[in-house]
Amino acid sequence: MPDLDATDEQLLVARDAASFELFYLRHVDAMLGFFARRTFDAEMAADLCAETFAAALASRRRFRPGGPPARAWLFGIGAKKLADAQRRGYADIRARRRLGMERSSSPTRTSRASNGSARATRRGRSWSCCRPSSARRSPRT
């Protein structure tokens, strides 16, 4: 069990699952917010958050204590994942235009448009997919 007072750097260097879980719990909400503000799509934000933490887990051996802070390292990975997703999205849009195809609206966009509140969608169940079951909160009423 990792020390709850351990720094983010210590958690990444420890390289055990429990330490990474604590690192994840400390930063998952901030990462979701980062992606939500940039994508305006709860599903995409959750996907990018999951991809970011998966990449961080896979590459944490390359993290160097004493360099940039662990949070900055994580957000750097997130920014690269976002840029990759945007490039893929722009390529998809160009390909659809060339083929004369229209994109169907996603359920997330439709639900936001119908209820008129992007915030309500962001606070709903869709965010819980990135949190471990032990850390999920019940929705606010």
pLDDT tens readout for residues 1-15: 677 889 999 999 998
Residue 13's identity, in one-letter code, is: V
* pLDDT at 116 (0 to 100): 39
* pLDDT at 124 (0 to 100): 43
Tell me the C-alpha distance between 51 and 128, whole Å: 15
pLDDT, averaged across the chain? 78
How is residue 16 annotated by DSSP? S
Query: Which alpha helices (DSSP H) does the chain contain, by range?
Result: 8-14, 17-39, 42-59, 70-99, 107-115, 118-123
Domains of the chain, residue spans: 8-135
Tell me the C-alpha distance between 78 and 88, whole Å: 15
Q: Please say if the pLDDT value at position 68 is more than 50.
A: yes
Tell me the C-alpha distance between 89 and 41, whole Å: 13
Tell me the C-alpha distance between 136 and 95, whole Å: 39
Report, as an integer, the average pLDDT of 107-125: 41
